[in-house]
Chains A and B, each alone.
Chain A
């Protein structure tokens, strides 16, 4: 059963197609990474799903929710650079958005305390958000996305702007959150996606070019290939490499083009060799 079905979602800005007909569905309880280079349309996709942008065409259907109903009650969203009212404290802001998400004041306050504890900024809850560091803002941002216990939270580049320590902390936090809710997050860093997500949606130039679980994709595209670089003229070793057990193919690749496996001979000094194993 899918939680969201997206059909032929398109978005144009002026004359530019930013999202060109996305179709995918998300299963509940999964952590899905939307992976792609900058400018692939990841942020636009998340904003479309969160209702901040209106699709030019196509549909977004949340399971069990009327098409015309306000989907915003069921989702949490963290923009890439979350901005808070600088004059508010972290706790005040959470209670504020909690009440906007139709919690009562006491509920919002309790929930805010829990979340501040969970994201690890409880000691800073009475400080103004203007004084927060980047990592703290990101964590407050995650807390505000979770405040109304949404079925789905969407995080736009949650770790990209953080230093290595902040990034590690937020990734660990997401790993925990994964237990409670469905997460869709965008990133341009493969290792982050590999680390915490179950499924991948690979986006390029406004289209989803590949999707599936990490394992599936690995099986599909992984080739057993080793690149060996020599510091000396290596042509003489080619035959020896070829003769090694379980080597199916050994050939000369051009410098910088590591994936080329070729038996063709290119004259010149030593370069890389690609060795494929069976």
Chain B
């Protein structure tokens, strides 16, 4: 009951602040940017000109899987930043402004409050991300060659876990501090730290969350789901659960009026 009330309120808020329009647009742009520019690079160079007479370029066209993977790379860079930006104020902002005081003085369970906001953000992010990936798939099919629908669905489901993890990390910091900017900073810092850890210990931590996309690429190449991908996915799901529980505990110890 209360859960859906908060969830619906979030949905209304996204409609009123046009999140339902701009977030999908940003994800579509991120997803199709790289495949399109790669395909049209020779033509762009031709049109712009300025090359010495007689210069020839032979730019190899990547295989379709590689082209689709470009979208994931963009999401790993800018998509993550967008996710953090739209999530960093969801609880911290309400606490900072003082609305949380009016909401949490009603008999609302803390977990209801956190989980409904988490779910609402995920709905927005997943919808935008799916739309973006479908757009990318459309162009990849058109320009680079066919990718099976089932493969795209698998890619979307597995990589979506990464965005879910990023959302959950940001939600966790939302319960820890109440300044949205600080939440954003901490979340990005954790993402950077994770990628540093991954590049230093990659031979040791084979199921580290950051390896997810390389296994996804492997899946597209081989056509089967590697065991490492399953294991990494399970670890990410485990982390998400742990972070949600941790968020609940930190939120309980916070004092709302503080």
List chain A positions with a Cβ less than 8 A from chain B: 47, 50-54, 70, 72-73, 75-77, 79, 81-85, 87-88, 92, 96-97, 99-102, 141, 144, 148
Contact = CB atoms under 8 A, between A and B. Distances in A.
Contact of B257 (A52, A70, A72): A52
Nearest to A141: B102
B67 to A, nearest CB: 40
A77 B246 CA distance: 29
A212 to B, nearest CB: 29
B102 A83 contact: yes
B51 to A, nearest CB: 52
22 contacts: A47-B257, A51-B105, A52-B101, A52-B105, A52-B255, A72-B107, A73-B107, A75-B105, A79-B101, A81-B98, A83-B97, A83-B102, A85-B99, A88-B12, A97-B103, A99-B1, A99-B5, A100-B106, A100-B107, A100-B108, A101-B107, A102-B107
A141 B2 CA distance: 20
A148 B106 contact: yes
Contacts, number: 69
A148 B258 CA distance: 25
Contacts of B12: 88, 92
A57 B95 CA distance: 25
Given A79-B101, A81-B98, A101 B255 contact: no
A28 B146 CA distance: 75
B162 to A, nearest CB: 31
Interface of B: 1-2, 5-6, 9, 12-13, 16-17, 97-99, 101-108, 255-258
Contacts of B101: 52, 77, 79, 83
Contacts of B16: 87
Contacts of A141: 102
Contacts of A70: 107
A85 B106 contact: no
B5 A96 contact: yes
Contacts of B102: 77, 79, 82-84, 97, 141, 144
B252 to A, nearest CB: 10
Given A81-B98, A87-B13, A100 B255 contact: no
Contacts of B5: 96, 99-100
